[in-house]
Every structure is written in C-alpha cells, then in structure tokens.
A and B are shown apart, each in its own frame.
Chain A
Amino acid sequence: AAPRLAQRGRGGGRPGAAAMTWSATARGAHQPDNTAFTQQRLPAWQPLLSASIALPLFFCAGLAFIGLGLGLYYSSNGIKELEYDYTGDAGTGNCSLCAAAGQGRAPPPSCSCAWYFSLAELFQGPVYLYYELTNFYQNNRRYGVSRDDRQLSGVRFALFHPANECAPYQRSAGGLPIAPCGAIANSLFNDSFSLWHQRQPGGPYVEVPLDRTGIAWWTDYHVKFRNPPLVNGSLALAFRGTVPPPNWHRPVYELSRDPNNTGFINQDFVVWMRTAALPTFRKLYARIRQGNYSAGLPRGAYRVNITYNYPVRAFGGHKLLIFSSISWMGGKNPFLGIAYLVVGSLCILTGFVMLVVYIRYQDQDDDDDDD
C-alpha cells in the first residue's frame, strides 16, 4: 500500500488528479463523509400503500365528499333561473321579425322586440340579468389577441398607436387609429334590455331599475381599464384623432351618459372585453337590487324590451336572456354537487372493496405466516 500512497501523493499535486474524485471534501484522505445524507439513510416516511391503510382513508374521504356534494347540490338547486332565447327563430316570439329583418345586413338596423313572462311567486333575490351567446368563439385565438391592453388602460401613446395585434381593426381606412382597437371591441355586444313590471293584471308596466354598474370586476373597472387623460376636461377631446371601431355607431366616449361609465370604463364594454373561455357563455348585464326589487322580483307579469341589434344567426349562434338568483357558489350548476356525490359514493364503494380485500388477503398472509 505504501508506494501507492506515495504515488497518490504525487497525483494529488497534479491539478487534474485532485479534482478527479467527486468528493471535493477530501480531507487529505479520500474517505467519504459518513452522514445520513451521503449514505442515503435519511429518515424517511415510507408510504406502503395497502388495503389496510387505504381503507379508512376511502371511507373518510367518501363521507366527506358526500357531505360536500349534498351541500353543493342543495345550494345549486336553490338557485332559480329563468331564460329566454330571443334569437328570433321562426315562431318563438316577436323577435323573429327583427331576426328576419336583420339578416344579411351589417350593421343591422335597430329593431325592437319584447319578451313577456310572468312570475307566479317571488323570484328570490338578488337577481342578476345575464345575456348568453352560444356558438360564439370569443376564445378564438386570433380574435382573443386582437386587443391592446395598453390602449385600454389609458396610455395616450397607445391610444394613437394601437398594437399590431389589433389588425385589421388597428387603423381606419383613413389611417386614423381605432379606439378601442381590435376585433373584440369591434364586436361589442350591443343589444340592450329594459325590464318592465306589471303589478296588477292590466295595470301599467313600471320600469324595474336595472343596476348597470358593478357588473364588471372591481379591479378591471378601477385598475385595468382607464380612460385616457381628459383634454380640457373633456373625454371627447381626449379621443380626438381616433375613430370608433367600424361596427360601432357612436364613439367610445358616448357609450353612456354617465361620465363614470363611459369611454373605456363603460362596464358593458369592460365585461365584454373579458373574453369568455367557452363558446357558450353568459355575461352579466345588470343587477336588480334597487327599490322594491332588492329582495327579488315580486310575482306578476313582466316585459323585457329588447333592442335587437346583434347578429348571431350568421354563425348559427343564439342569444338568450337569463334571470338568475345567486348563491355562495355562484350561478346554478348542479354538476359540482353531483360529481362530489358520485365520487364520494365511489370512494365508499372502493372502501368496501378494500375491506373485502383486506379481510381475505390478510387471512392469506396469516396463512403464509403459518407455513
């Protein structure tokens, strides 16, 4: 061993040889550290999955899931929904006229129709009014990217220099920047609704106040969407030098008469700009929470006046109007509750299977042990 040692000593002098062994911690000798980590003896939790361990787990999880599922199911069931397809398919009401009239023309002419319904009992509040579009691919990639967030957040430079993603709705034929640019803004949903309540049969229709504010995300309305800085106190001046999207009848600063709800921070606009994830989607139109209607819609006859502008028949879409109450879990959706119930029951079932397995194979193990 001795000459080898000597040789090693020489070898150590060579820079290459010293680094050859991994253990840079070579403390003169090459003996590796004897620690739990280097020797891979760290205390470890060793989950050994077997029926006996999984058994209680399955039962517990199953019970918990069933409990959750029941809760979800009942709260979903407690939510009332009232919907009406006003696309105007033939024979579905007076919106069919509008639908027929607007066919093939863009922009379609303004057309009004109405939806009559009556409630036999109180529609528990707070009631939300949604519109729903089907078969509308707001999530189409090229559609979804066609916007300029900087422009929408009120950056003046971006207002006049819309992002290229907005093309072909970036600049008008005259070369003026479009504000708001992009396909999403251009296709802004522009039907409008008003709700009228007839307390007594034959009585006059009273307009139900629709709260059109607070329908967008607070952060969207307050942070993300900003109007460009006013010029001489006027929003219209601020937008001077831009043109509205081609499909729009009026410029963006005239979307609403309310100065806090116009321009880019118009809540309908903000809601629309939050592009839907799925081709069938709802968007919140208004909340009903004022006056006598804060507790909900009392029974009686109702009429919804619809300004029918938005063409959907070209792509086979439908427009729906929905009244929905709301709970802690949002809108009506029985799926989650049912899914929890199913999974919970499956867990219980598996638990029983495990029990059988446990009993039978435990015995066998014991038999083996007896050998």
Chain B
Amino acid sequence: MSGPLQWARYHWRRLTGRTTSDDEERPYSYLSLLACGGKSSQTPRLAGKHRVVIPHLRPFKEEYEKFSGAYVNNRIRTTKYTLLNFVPRNLFEQFHRAANLYFLFLVVLNWVPLVEAFQKEITMLPLVVVLTIIAIKDGLEDYRKYKIDKQINNLVTKVYSRKEKKYVEQCWKDVTVGDFIRLSCNEVVPADMVLLFSTDPDGICHIETSGLDGESNLKQRQVVRGYTEQDSEVDPEKFSSRIECESPNNDLSRFRGFLEHSNKDRVGLSKENLLLRGCTIRNTEAVVGIVVYAGHETKAMLNNSGPRYKRSKLERRANTDVLWCVLLLVVMCLTGALGHGIWLSIYEHVPFFNIPEPDGHTVSPVLAGFYMFWTMIILLQVLIPISLYVSIEIVKLGQIYFIQSDVDFYNEKTDSTVQCRALNIAEDLGQIQYLFSDKTGTLTENKMVFRRCSVAGFDYCHEENAKRLESYQEAVSEDEDFPDAESGSLSNMAKPRAHSCRPVHNEPLGSKPSRQLAGSAVAVGSGEGASEVPHSRQAAFSSPIETDVVPDTRLLEKFSQITPQLFSLLDETVHHPPLETLYIIDFFIALAICNTVVVSAPNQPRQKSRCSSLSGMPIRSLEEIKNLFQRLSVRRSSSPSLASGKELSSAFASRLPLLSRLKLTSPVGEEESRLSESAQGASSSACCPETQKANSEAGLANGRVEAPSGRALASDLCYEAESPDEAALVYAARAYRCTLQARAPDQVTVDFAALGPLTFQLLHVLPFDSVRKRMSVVVRHPLSNQVVVYTKGADSVIMELLSAASPDEASLEKQQIIIRERTQKHLDNYATRGLRTLCIAKKVMSDTEYAEWLRNHFLAETSIDNREELLLESALRLENKLTLLGATGIEDRLQEGVPESIEALHKAGIKVWMLTGDKQETAINIAYACKLLEPDDKLFILNTQSKDACEMLMSTILKELQKKNQGGPGQASLRVDLLQPPVPQDSEIRAGLIITGKTLEFALQENLQRQFLELTSWCQAVVCCRATPLQKSEVVKLVRSHLRVMTLAIGDGANDVSMIQVADIGIGVSGQEGMQAVMASDFAISQFRHLSKLLLVHGHWCYTRLSNMILYFFYKNVAYVNLLFWYQFFCGFSGTSMTDYWVLIFFNLLFTSAPPVIYGVLEKDVSAETLMQLPELYKSGQKSEAYLPLTFWITLLDAFYQSLACFFVPYFTYQGSDIDIFTFGNPLNTAALFIILLHLVIESKSLTWIHLLVIVGSVLSYFFFALAFGAMCVTCNPPSNPYWIMQEHMLDPVFYLVCILTTCIALLPRFIYRVLQGSLFPSPILRAKHLDRLTPEERTEALKKWRGAGKMDPVTSTSAEQSAGKSGGRPMPGTLADFAMNPASSCAFEQGNISVCETALDQGCCETEA
C-alpha cells in the first residue's frame, strides 16, 4: 500500500530537511525565499533566549552541567510508536478520522441491547478490517523509520576524548553538545557545529548540501575568526571559550551568536561558521568543530515537518456528498423509526409476534420507535461507505504507479522520470484551470549560453558563436538516440570546433593559450575513451554548449592591443586614448572574478585546483614562500583586521602581486616548462606535502597518480557556479584568454593572456541577492594597486547606480554618458532578442574611502541583531557611483517541446501565466517564442510607477476590452462578482497582459485585486515580469482564493518554492538549479513538455477514473442498502435484514470491492494518443463534468430505482408464497450482485482481461461463499442461518428467471440512456472515443475533421493551423528573433487610448497589434 511511498517521502524530507513551515492554511515558507535571496527580512525572534555551549570536557564539567547539560544529545528518534504504545497510539491516531469514529460509534451502538441489529461481533468486522490494514501499514512504515534511525544513530564519527587525549570513534547518538568533532573529507556532519579548524590554510571548508537541499555545488564555510591564524590544529584541551548562540530554530539561512574567549573578547558567529547536520565535507582534508545543536535540535531536523497533506478538490466534493449520504441515512432511519412506532400503535393489543421485553412489560410505540432509529442506523450503516476511503487510497496508489511508470516521462539524459511526491492529489491534475509557470529553467533550458556583449559602447555580436550554437543543435538532434547522449554530443562537439574555433584563436593569441585550449579539446574529445572521470567532472552548468564560446573576431583584434606595457603607461598617464582597451580589460576581469565560482580540476573530484597547481612546486621553495606569504598577507577576507591591512598596505601592496603570482600561478607556467623536460618524477613526488601526509583520501591519491597529465589538468579547469549565468560569463572570459585560475577566500587568480597571471587580493565579496539584484567584489588590483569594486547586476539596477556626475573629469563623464546610452540601446536590443542581460560596472576607491567603508561594514557584520539590514545598507554604501563597463547578453534557450506544450495547454482551456524575474522585453519575447502569446494577440502592458496610474490604466484597458468583446460586456464584471472568470467567447479577440513587478505590487493591493482579476480574466495569457518570489506566490494565492479555480504552479528554482507551495498542485522541474523546487513540489518532472502529458492524459484519466469510481461507490452502497430499507416496509420497520449478516458484510467488503478499484485504476475513457491530439477534451475535467452535484443526485436516483426494481421483482414473484426470510433474500442478493457488476460494465469504457478476471472472480467468490456457507453452517450464526438455501435455489428455475428479470429491469434505463447518449448526443469524450476505434488512416481523417469542426472554436482552430505551419520543431534562435521582431515592428500606439493614460503613465501603455 502507500507504506513504502509515504515512508520514503517522509524520510527524504527528513534527510533533506526541507523547509516547510507549519502554517496551517497553505504551508509555504519565507525561509526558502531567504535561502535563495540571502536577504533576511525576518525580525529577530528569540532575542531573549540564548543557548550557551561549554566544551564538554572535564575542566568545565560544573559549568557544562549548568548550561549545556540539559541539551538533547544527538540521538534521533523519528518513529511515532514504540512497541508498547503502538496499539493505543495507533488507534488514537486512526480515530482522528471522522469516518472511523462514526464506525466506532456504530459498533458501540450495536452493543446496546435495546437497539442491536446484528450480532455484536459482526458489526465490528469492517471497522476491524480497515483499522488493521491501516495499522499494519503504519506499523511497517514506522518499523522502517526505526531501522533507519538506528542506522543513522549508529554511524560513527570521531569525537575528542579527554581520557585518551585524542579523537576516538563514537556513535552519532552519543555525541553531545559541546563535543569536539573531527571530520575528514567526504564525511557527513553528525550535528550542527561551529567550525573551529580546517586543514585548509585559509580556514575554509567546502561542504556539499545535497543532503539538505539537493544542491550539489560546493559551498564554503569559514573557520571562526581568530582561529585561522593558528597553524596547528585546534587543541580541545586548550579551548576555554564559550559559545553563546540563539536557541535551536529551523532557519537554515541564519545562525547568530558569538564566541567568548576567556578574556571576554567576543567573536561574532554567523551561518558561515556553522556546519549543518547532514552536509558532507568536501575538498577539505579535515575539520574540527564544536557541537552547538545536536539531535532533534539541529536545524536539519527542525526543518523536517513530515509529509504535507493536501486534499484534492474531488475528495472535498466527495466529502460533501458523504455528508449528504449521512443526511439520507438519517431520513431513512427516521422513516424506520416513525414507521415502527405507527406500526406498533395500530395494534390494540400487543400481537404475539411482537414479543415483550424479557421482564415481561412492553415498550411503548414511541420509545420503540426511538430505539428503532438507532437499530436502523446500524442496519443501514453501509450507506456511509467505509470502504470508500480505503478504496480511494488504493486507487490513488495505483494511479500514481501508472504515472510513474510512464516511459514518456523518462528523461534519458538525467535518468530521471516523473516523481509523485504527493500521493493524494493525482486527480487534481485533471482539473487545472490556471497554470503559473516560471520562465528560466522551466520553459527554458537554463543552459546559459554567452551570446554577445557590449563593451564600452561597442556591440560584439559573436556571429561565429551563434553559428556554433546552431551546429550544436543539429549535432544534438542527430544524436538524440545515443544511449549516452552526453558523450555523443561531446564527441560531436569536437567537430564544429575543429573548423571554427582554432583558426580564430591561434593567430591572435599566440601559442601558449591555444595549446591550452587544444589540450582541453583533446581532453574532452578523448574523455569518453580515456575514463569516465572527465565526464562526471563536467560541472553542473557546463555542457560543452555552455563552456565553449567562440570569441568575436572584432573583439579579439582589440585584444591584440593589450600589452603589459599598457599598465605601466596607465600608472603614469591615467587617461590615455586606449581607454576602450582598459574598459575591455576591466570588463573581462570583472567577468572572471565578479562571481562565486569555485574552480576545481577535473581529474580530482572535489579538489581545489590550488592543491594541484601546487603539486609541481619543489618542497623547499613552496614552504618558504608560504611562510613568507603567511607573514605578510592579510588573511581574512572580511574585515581583515583593519589595522594590519593599513599598516601593511604600503609595504605589502608592492610585493603582493609578485608573491601571489609566485605562489599561485607560476606553477602553471613552470609546470609546462618542466613537463616539456621530464618532470614526471618530480611532480608525482612533490605533491603538496602536508596534503600527502594528512590525507589518505582516495580522491587525492588519485590526483597524485594522475599528476603527470598535469597539462590537461591545468587548462581544463572546472567551474562550479551557483547559477548558470555566472558560469557562462566565466567561460566567456576564458574564451578570451582571461581564465579564472583559482579562487580562495582572500584572492583570485586570473590568467590574462596578454598580461600574464594576475592575482587579485580579494578584499570583499558582497554576494548576490534578489533585493539588490547585483553582486560586487572588492579587490585590490595587482597592476594599478587600487581598490576596485567590480559590480555585476541587472541593468535596471546598475544603470541607477552609475556615477551621476564626476566633478573633475568632464570628458570622461561625456564618454560615460555616450557609453551609457549606447549600452542601453544594446541592452534593449538584447532584450528584444530574448537574451538575459547583465551590466558590468566598476568603481575605483581610494584606500581611505575603502577604510572608511570597511569600518562601517565591520560594525554591521558583528552586530547580532538586525545584521541583515545593516549589511544591506553597507552594500548600498559601497555600490554607487559606478562606471559602466559594458553589458552581456546570455541566451537561455527554450526547452524542447515547450511551444507545443503551451499550445496544447491553451487548447485545453488552461490559462497560462508566466511569472518571471526577468525583464519585460525578455519575458515578452520568450512568451512569443513559446507560443504563450500569438502574433496576432492584442498586447496590453501594465507598467506604471504609481497606484493611481495603475488603476486608471487597468480601467482603460478593461473598457477597451469590453468594447471590443461584444460577447458579454456587462456580464464580465458581474461574473467576477460571482467570482467566476468569464469564459472568453470564442469569437473574441485574444489578448495578452504584461505586468511588471512594480505594477504588480499595486495590482495585488486589496482594492485593486478585483479589477486586476477581471482584467486578467479577459486575457488568454498573462506575463508577470520582474516579479519577486513573494509576488509570484501572492499572484497564485490571489487567483486561487478569489477565483476559486484550480491552480498549478511549475518552477525549477528556489525562487519558485513559495509559488509551488501555494498552488493546488506544485510541480518542480528537476533542472539545473538544485532540488529545492522539487523538494517542495507535489510532482517533479524533468522537462516542461512532460507537463502536457501529465495533465492532458494522466490528469484526465486520474480525474475521470476516480470521480467515476467514487460515484460508483455511492451508487453501489445506496442501491444495496435500499434493498434492506424497502424490506422494512414489509416487516413492520423492525430492522430485520433478509440477508445473512455475513453476506451483508462481505458483499461490500469482498464481493464488490475489487471491481471498482480495478475500474478506478485501469479505466481508460479515451486513449492517450487521442487525449494528446485533442487537448480540448481536458475541458471536461476543468468543468468537473464527471462529477457534478447533479451527477451525484442522478446517480442516487438511479440507485434508488435499481434497488426498487431489485426488491420488488422478487417481492411480487414470491408474494403470498411460503418463502422464508433468507430464501427471499437470496435472489435479492444475487440479483443485486449482478446488477452492481453489470452496471460497472456499462459504465466502463474499456475492459481488459483484468476487468474480466476480477468481475468473474467476484461472481464466483460470491457463489462459492454462499454455497460453502449454506452447506456448512447448520447451526452457526444464529438466528440468520442460510442453511442450504443457495443449493435449493440453484436447482430452482424460478430463481434464475427472477435474477435475470431483475437485472434487466434494473439496468435497462441506464443502458438505454447510454445507448441514446452514444447515438444522439455524444459528449466530446465519447466522440473522441470513436476515433480510437478507427484505423490509423481513418483516424487522421477524423482528427482533421474534428479540428475543422472547431469552427465554433475559431481561436483554437486558427492556432492549430498556425502551429501546423510554424512549429517546425524547436524554435531556433532565428525564429526567436522573428517573433521578436513582431511586437517591435508593429507596435502601433492607439492615440485615443494613450491620451487617456498618458498623463498618469511614465512608461506609457504600449498596445500592440499584429
């Protein structure tokens, strides 16, 4: 049953510690937003409650007991039950379900002697069966949890033991707060601990958080300030500080506290110092930390809130109908009670067939009627289908099994298929009305390809690169059938490069770099043959299409002007004409260093390149240099103890470039030269000594062995970036021989071809966040020795931060203005081509300015409370008065099959909204490219700066739309009042709405919501650009709650998490941006195009199947129970059942339970092909056609009729004969069985051998049971004793005649209705089903006709034709550009419209027509 699934889901969550807040209503977490954004808007909570951690060592024993003794240890227990409390607790939990309580109530009722209807034990049977099944399921789940807990608890880690004065192995469960733990590379962190030591000389430690959030890229953590300077490992014996930090909380992105030394010095602690439980140590030999949170108090465990439970719309619907059934039951019981009272009161004397109470007196009719009410409730209890809930669960499991086994969802490249993470909302997939999609990574591949750039006002279009991309596409499409697509495409990649790249590089760039490139090409090309390692080392965002950028020839020419002399010139005469060249240099340096890319060498998994590059150094010189360097260098990146920085800056600055070059980059050069000699022995033995000693890890040993192939190693660096954009830019820079060589927390090394290796002292990194929309690095330029800020960010943000006026240099300012204008033009151009744009800017700071800023920043960093705000302010102080260098355009290509999918979804009546953080032009163009907008759509753009303007514009557009659409001008607002979106008339023109983030903010405000929704309801497509994650979720929430529609949100990144959690169904695309979206989602798919099959086919099926099954269940129960009810009219409403109790119970539990389940799992009303070809069929699910309230009542009516027929045919047949009670009941039962089963056959649209097997099996089991029971039960089961009745009947022709006649009469109306429906008024579904039966040729004919018949539906038909005409495979960049031209060329402003809003609008309302 659902056991393994739910268990696995739970455990997955437990392991990953997904952030799901416990919000009652719609759990979505702001935490995840913070996690992605980095900015915390959270007010400091728990301010008063702090936790004090004292080392768990003897000298502090007393103190330890006082403070930290009470903290929980690291043992975890996620199981709900223990052996002892399993039964009571499980029962307690199960009886939280109302249905179970109801049945318990019935059982108890039956123990009341006055009202008992059955034997006491029999009533318990169904409940006991259901409870047992669920208890077994729960028990198994819990047992598995227990086993995993045990396994985790018994993992071994190294904890410092004072007794033995060394680290000894201990189980995880024995770790306590205050323990010192030493972890080696690739070990998992057992508890949240503060990092005190890392073997890394810079005091950093790399961790991989895939266990937490699924992200496989490395993240850096920092040793606590003050501990890095120590050369030797931290000695727990000497550790006398205490740690004060906040109480355990579930905020993964925050950790606040300080470390207080014995001399009362305090050092701030942040999340950079915290290693979270569940992360894996990578790239770092060993680390030591002190545990601050253990066990259930770790952040990972606190984040673990168990599986989410969503209730599907269909189930909610069914639940209301269950309530109707309850009402019906009450009415029936009241009838019985009343009837019994009346029946009793007509007798003057007590008739002797109404026996008195045991004590002799008789009950008054009123009281008897009252008792009878309860008796009737017991008797007719089956009306409330207890098996319904169990069956629904089983059916859902079956449906999910089939969804997950669909091969169409299988993605060979990632070896992944669809994941159903929520088990109980599969049928909601069939009812989606609104779809909210992210753009990047969802609609697009999120493979960022550097396309063009603009430097210093010159646009470089990189035509060769464009050509390369096209050839790549062809190569890919040819090779799609390759089993290992990756290697196929890799080997193919070598071809285009062979004739396009080499000539380009070789000439202008000299031999050394090209040799490197050739080396890398060889390495890549031969990779598949040589080993698997280079493959698997392809970093997350580095398929060849992204990594290999062909430089622009024009730009390369300008590169040739770069000489080292340039900078010596620069030092003297600052403003020399080759300013452009300087811009170019700065631009590419910024591309290379303004990021958080981690560099690693391919052959050494998770090993930093620094180690490998050091490997070529002679031991002597290495150590010397290292010592020298350590003495001089300013180690800390953040607030490098300002004093020392100042003191040293003069002396140090001149030497630093040299030193760092010596240390870090010369190995590359030296290595090359040495390799050309015979350096093999040297390099293999000279691998950095302490590494060799300390680290026995396989990875490193591996690296040593492969050191001889150092050339490929040095050149073919791997970049691991947090976002693909960053990687794309770094690769672009590399193409221009500006290679990012190594990155340490305090310095970055760039190998600039013409200038040689440059080492930048990294003073500061201000990481990217979604509020600032930019990131900056502060470096000390090695050549100019200035403090330079390089900033990279969204164009809108950067443009505002550019230096408004530099007072001294007028000419420079002029040039800047020109550059700015031209860059802006280029940016607009890029955006219309659907490229993602970024601006690159820089700022030179004087040392004093920097020192000033640094002081303030230091204050911000060390504050415990509202640190985030202070940091933001600090960043704002730094990032201003920037000088624009240029801009980049990165292409994010559409995923395969996206336009087709969107078109199909449109035709299915789903409104698709695109919510993206990208800029307006990019978003519109992607919208056109993916067919979200049609070329002849009317486009309305909402982009205003004030609320009033927004309101005005909206009403203008609304009026306009209502005027144009005569279909229902006045009704629209009415309908919105009724919270029903007006169904756009087919004759109307299509409209699309574009709204920007700022305007969206106004539109989402209370008083404009309604108008906004009304407006959007007129539009086929809505694009929200520049939307923040929070806005995304608010939009979804608004639509969902106000229009009461079924919403689906799909996204791939952390910024979509909130939206995914708010929507009725959240779908995560397991793409490039980690697993956060997938973790939060209900379903995870690997590509957007799978969505169409998921919704159109599986959604439709699941919905139809389940709703039909639920209806059938209601029908079945009502039909059967009514037989008993009708009988009450002939037995004085005395609660007699004419059926043996066992048969009565088993009828529902055994004989008729399997067929509906099979029906619910396997029913196929229309084939998958037809459903995909005719998306219109999906509309039936949207309108809930399979299960309307009316359908329910019709079903009940039919059930009533059938039970009437089933009762009265035998009644009249046996009227006045000598038939006895159970002999009378037997044909009723048998006929009911046939009726109920054949009813299912009539309703089934497809019957496989499984159906047949189950139905025949049901009939046989019924007869077998009846015969066996009748033969063996002589005196058992008193007083209902069916002895030999079935045997008698089997020999009686009348029995057969009665059964046949009853079945026919009962089923005739439904059968006739279905036949007439099939001939006279077939539903679209039925018509589509006809197609399934045709031969392929006829079918295509019929399909054409069907689509042609959509004349009443011109929109879909025209779009269908367009799709036929235009969708020739995936849109190439070229087609994309075609689309892009559309709005631009035909952007016709309607004057009448404009004049209204002009005054209020700054950006104007652009109304586009095609």
Contacts and interface: CB of A to CB of B under 8 A. Distances in A.
Given A44-B1164, A141-B117, A343-B1304, A336 B1297 contact: yes
A23 B349 CA distance: 71
A331 interface: yes
A144 to B, nearest CB: 6
Contact of B1278 (A30, A148, A274): A148
B1221 A39 contact: no
A29 interface: yes
A167 interface: yes
Contact of B8 (A4, A16, A142, A280): A16
A68 interface: yes
A138 to B, nearest CB: 6
Contacts of A51: 1315-1316, 1318-1319
B336 to A, nearest CB: 11
Nearest to A312: B351
A140 B1278 contact: no
B439 interface: no
Given A3-B536, A4-B216, A168-B357, A42 B1250 contact: yes
Contact of A2 (B210, B537, B1135): B537
A24 B7 CA distance: 14
Interface in B1293-1312: 1293-1294, 1297-1298, 1301, 1304-1305, 1308, 1311-1312
Contacts of A276: 1218-1221
A32 B406 contact: yes
B1148 interface: no
B1330 interface: yes
Given A39-B405, A49-B1315, A329-B1294, A44 B353 contact: no
Contacts of B151: 15
Interface in A43-93: 43-54, 61, 65, 68, 72
Nearest to A150: B1275
B355 interface: yes
Interface string B437-464: 0000000000000000000000000000
B1339 to A, nearest CB: 14
A191 to B, nearest CB: 15
Interface residues of A, number: 116
B730 to A, nearest CB: 17
Contacts of A153: 1274-1275
B360 A168 contact: yes
Contacts of A65: 1301, 1304
B848 interface: no
A277 B1245 contact: no
Given A3-B539, A51-B1316, A140-B1131, A168 B359 contact: yes
B1223 interface: yes
A354 B417 contact: no
A2 B1317 CA distance: 55
Interface in B1088-1137: 1101, 1130-1132, 1134-1136
Contacts of A17: 8, 12, 15
B1274 A223 contact: yes
Contacts of B1311: 49, 54
B1297 A277 contact: no
Contacts of A40: 402, 1101, 1162, 1164, 1168
Contacts of B253: none
A97 interface: no
B9 A42 contact: no
Contacts of B410: 30-32
A48 B1297 CA distance: 28
Interface stretch (A6-14, A192-200, A286-294): A6-14
Interface residues of B, number: 122
B1283 A168 contact: no
Nearest to A357: B1319
Contacts of A150: 1275, 1278
A331 to B, nearest CB: 6
| A3, A29, A187, A335 interface centre (most CB from chain B within 10 Å) | A3
Nearest to A9: B536
Interface string A145-184: 1111110110100000001010111100000000000010
Contact of A139 (B405, B1130, B1211): B1130
A219 B915 CA distance: 78
B1138 interface: yes
A248 interface: no
A143 interface: yes
Contacts of A170: 358
B351 A336 contact: no
A3 B216 contact: yes
Nearest to A22: B404
A205 interface: no
Interface string B411-434: 011111101100000000000000
B539 A38 contact: no
A34 B351 contact: no
B1283 A219 contact: yes
A234 to B, nearest CB: 24
Contacts of B309: none
A115 interface: no
A203 B413 CA distance: 109
A107 to B, nearest CB: 11
Interface string B1-39: 000110111011011000000000000000000000000
B1369 interface: no
B1215 interface: yes
B1247 A45 contact: yes
Contacts, number: 338
Contacts of A140: 353-354, 1131-1132, 1134, 1136
Interface string A330-371: 110101100110010011001000100110010000001101
A5 B303 CA distance: 27
B1221 A275 contact: yes
B85 interface: no
A247 B1136 CA distance: 25
B1080 to A, nearest CB: 15
B1212 interface: yes
Contacts of B1298: 336
B539 A22 contact: no
B680 interface: no
Given A217-B1288, A336-B1213, A141 B1131 contact: yes
Contacts of A247: 352
A33 B409 CA distance: 12
B46 interface: no
B1278 A149 contact: yes
B1246 A44 contact: yes
A144 B1283 CA distance: 16
17 contacts: A1-B486, A48-B1330, A49-B1242, A50-B1315, A51-B1316, A137-B351, A137-B354, A146-B355, A149-B1274, A149-B1275, A149-B1279, A153-B1274, A187-B353, A316-B347, A329-B1294, A350-B1308, A354-B1319
Interface of A: 1-8, 10-11, 14-17, 19-24, 29-34, 38-40, 42-54, 61, 65, 68, 72, 130, 132, 136-150, 152-153, 155, 163, 165, 167-170, 183, 186-187, 217, 219-220, 223-224, 247, 271, 274-284, 314-316, 328-331, 333, 335-336, 339-340, 343, 346-347, 350, 354, 357-358, 361, 368-369, 371
A-B pairs, top 9 by smallest CB distance, nearest first, are A16-B11, A277-B1224, A315-B351, A44-B1246, A50-B1318, A19-B8, A38-B405, A167-B358, A51-B1319
Interface of B: 4-5, 7-9, 11-12, 14-15, 117, 148, 151, 210-211, 216, 347-349, 351-360, 375, 400-402, 404-407, 409-410, 412-417, 419-420, 485-486, 535-540, 543, 1101, 1130-1132, 1134-1136, 1138, 1162, 1164, 1168, 1209, 1211-1221, 1223-1225, 1241-1242, 1244-1250, 1274-1275, 1278-1279, 1281, 1283-1284, 1288, 1292-1294, 1297-1298, 1301, 1304-1305, 1308, 1311-1312, 1314-1320, 1326, 1329-1330, 1332-1333, 1345
